């Protein structure tokens, strides 16, 4: 059976993550159908695929893309409706995150609706309807998500180590230096954003704050303490509003010079942030207007010091920065929560406590924007 042509996307230069996921699921579903024998699924294709086949494919997808279920935790979805003994065994040993499960099923539903015209709700008397809208598939999805939540299976997050972050900072600094040597190609805003991001990454690493909380830092929350002899900044006290702290009692953070890294000024938050601030002032941003430490960028391609970065844009920008300096393939598994994981470990938190917060970062769809 030939594979159907790729899903058509809107005319963007890049796909959204969901579009890319849907495209990959589409091809994987077609390949899975091709692998079936005619006895298993006679005349199987997406024009006639039924709910039981959707559930069987999801078991296949979970086993192929899932992670091993942690020892001592019953499987997410182990009691999912419509599961054979072999399929239940898969769900007892492998799992994927609940949002991914919903996106995969939602992607298949969208494909069947938009490409194959299966818009109506599937029912025992309407087998041409959309099987993803059948009660059995909905029950499978809801049962899986309920079990996933009940067993509190945390998606493992790989810590970012000091050496990794140093490599990333060095690569970004080299990129900045190269462009400073080519004034005709200089994009001031882009360079300012890179300086901002470096300071943000260092801050996350040494503060143990979550990415969504760290980006909300206000100027009024930070007190820089200077040496009276030479006016150098020696430390900073960060007071985090209680409303911005999630399940933590640590509202006050002390940052010392060369905190954690001890490798010189370029890796020190108390050195990097003043450089970013000074460059912003040099290029026309008024110090009196600076209300947030990590400002967002407007659609007009300027910095907005009255508005902090959105968490969703921070995640996207981190991946973009890795790609910019050729490190995305090497560190594609890192997330903003990777900074917190290693920070917790360096501050002596237990592995058990560390794993408990591994998957707490998140963002709502309303946080998605075009800020850089």
Q: What is the enclosing helix (H) or strand (E) of 94?
A: strand 94-95
Are 143 and 64 in contact by the 8 Å Cβ rule? The answer is no
Is there a single domain that holds both residue 146 and residue 174? no
Residues 50 and 118 reside in one and the same domain: yes
> pLDDT tens across 59-110, in order?
999 989 888 776 555 444 444 555 555 555 667 778 888 878 888 999 999 9
User: What is the per-residue pLDDT for 228?
Assistant: 85
Domain presence at residue 109: yes
Neighbours of 22 (CB within 10 A): 21
Q: Which residue has the higher pLDDT, 136 or 231?
A: 136
Q: Is 198 found in the same domain as 82?
A: no
The domain containing residue 197 runs over which residues? 162-367
Q: Which pLDDT score is estimated for 333?
A: 81
Residue 247 has a pLDDT of 47
- pLDDT recorded at residue 369: 37
State residue 368 phi and psi, 5-degree precision: -70, 125
Q: What is the pLDDT of residue 213?
A: 84
358 and 211 housed in the same domain: yes
Please tell me the distance from the alpha carbon of residue 50 to that of residue 95, in angstroms, as a whole number.
Answer: 23
Co-location of 145 and 203 in the same domain: no
What is the Cα–Cα distance from 153 to 173, expressed in whole angstroms? 38
Q: Determine contact, residues 18/106, Cβ cutoff 8 Å.
A: no
Q: Phi first, then psi: give them for residue 82, nearest 5 degrees.
A: 80, 15
Cα separation, 127 vs 129, in Å, equals 5
Identify whether 23 is part of a domain: yes
The CATH number of residue 356's host domain is: 1.10.443
Q: What's the first-to-final CA gap in the chain, in angstroms?
A: 44
Residues 145 and 247 both lie in one domain: no
Give the residue with greater pLDDT, 270 vs 250. Answer: 270
Number of domains the chain contains? 2
Q: Which segment of 2-16, 46-60, 154-168 scores lowest on mean pLDDT?
A: 2-16
**Strand segments (E) across 124-218:** none
Residues 234 and 259 in one domain: yes
Residue 47 covered by a domain: yes
In this structure, the answer to whether residues 234 and 265 fall within a common structural domain is yes
Dihedral, CA of residue 249, residue 252, residue 255 and residue 256, to nearest 10: -110
The answer to which of 9-13, 236-240, 266-270 has the lowest mean pLDDT is 9-13
Find residue 233's DSSP bridge partners: 226
More confident position, 148 or 270: 270
Q: What is the pLDDT of residue 71?
A: 57
In a domain, 5, yes or no: no
Strand partners, 226: 233
The pLDDT of residue 324: 94
Does one domain contain both 174 and 145? no
What pLDDT does 44 receive? 81
159-204 tens-digit pLDDT: 888 889 999 999 999 999 988 887 677 788 999 999 999 999 999 9
Per residue in 25-37, pLDDT tens?
A: 999 999 999 888 7
Whether 8 is in a domain gets the answer: no
In contact, 339 and 211? CB cutoff 8 Å: yes
Q: Domain for residue 239, yes or no?
A: yes
In this predicted structure, which of 59-63, 190-194, 273-277, 342-346 has the lowest mean pLDDT? 342-346
pLDDT of amino acid 146: 78
* pLDDT over threshold 60, residue 371: no
Residues 249 and 173 in one domain: yes
pLDDT tens digits, 100-133: 888 899 999 999 999 999 999 999 999 999 999 9
Q: Please name the residue that has the structure tokens 């790729």.
A: 6
Q: What is the DSSP string of 339-365?
A: HHHHHHHHTT--HHHHHHTTT-----G
Same domain, 174 and 251: yes
Q: Are residues 142 and 175 in the same domain?
A: no
In the predicted model, is pLDDT for residue 9 greater than 60?
Answer: no
Q: DSSP characters for 276-306?
A: HHHHHHHTT--GGG--BSSEEE-TTSSEEEE
pLDDT range class, residue 152, cuts 50, 70, 90: low
User: Rounded to an integer, what distance in angstroms lies between the CA atom of residue 290 and that of residue 92?
Assistant: 52
At residue 88, the pLDDT reads 59
Of all residues in the chain, the percent with pLDDT exceeding 90 is 38
């Amino acid at each position: 059976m030939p594979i159907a042509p790729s899903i058509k996307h809107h005319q963007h230069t890049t796909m959204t993550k969901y579009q890319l996921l849907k495209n990959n699921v589409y091809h994987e579903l077609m390949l899975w159908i091709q692998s079936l024998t005619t006895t298993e699924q006679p005349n199987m294709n997406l024009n006639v695929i039924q709910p039981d086949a959707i559930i069987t494919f999801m078991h296949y997808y979970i086993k192929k893309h899932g992670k091993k279920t942690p020892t001592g935790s019953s499987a997410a979805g182990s009691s999912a409706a419509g599961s054979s003994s072999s399929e239940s065994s898969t769900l007892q040993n492998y799992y994927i995150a609940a949002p991914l499960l919903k996106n995969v099923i939602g992607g298949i539903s969208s494909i069947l609706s938009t490409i194959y015209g299966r818009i109506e709700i599937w029912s025992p008397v309407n087998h041409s309807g959309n099987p993803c809208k059948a009660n059995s598939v909905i029950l499978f999805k809801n049962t899986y998500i309920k079990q996933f939540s009940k067993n509190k299976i945390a998606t493992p997050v790989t810590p970012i180590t000091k050496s990794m972050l140093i490599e990333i900072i060095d690569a970004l600094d080299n990129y900045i230096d190269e462009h400073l040597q080519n004034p005709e190609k200089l994009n001031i805003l882009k360079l300012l954003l890179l300086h901002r991001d470096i300071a943000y990454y260092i801050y996350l690493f040494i503060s143990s704050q979550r990415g969504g909380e760290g980006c909300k830092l206000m100027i009024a929350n930070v007190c820089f303490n200077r040496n009276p002899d030479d006016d150098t900044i020696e430390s900073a006290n960060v007071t985090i509003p209680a409303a911005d702290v999630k399940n933590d009692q640590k509202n006050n953070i002390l940052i010392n010079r060369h905190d954690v890294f001890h490798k010189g000024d370029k890796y020190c938050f108390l050195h990097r942030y003043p450089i970013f601030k000074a460059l912003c002032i040099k290029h026309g941003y008024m110090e009196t207007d600076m209300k947030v430490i990590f400002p967002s960028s407007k659609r007009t391609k300027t910095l907005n010091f009255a508005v902090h970065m959105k968490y969703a844009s921070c995640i996207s920008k981190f991946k973009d920065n890795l790609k910019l300096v050729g490190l995305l393939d090497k560190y594609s598994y890192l997330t903003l929560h990777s900074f917190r994981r290693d920070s917790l470990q360096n501050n002596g938190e237990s592995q058990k406590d560390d794993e408990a917060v591994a998957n707490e970062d998140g963002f709502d769809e309303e946080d998605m924007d075009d800020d850089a």
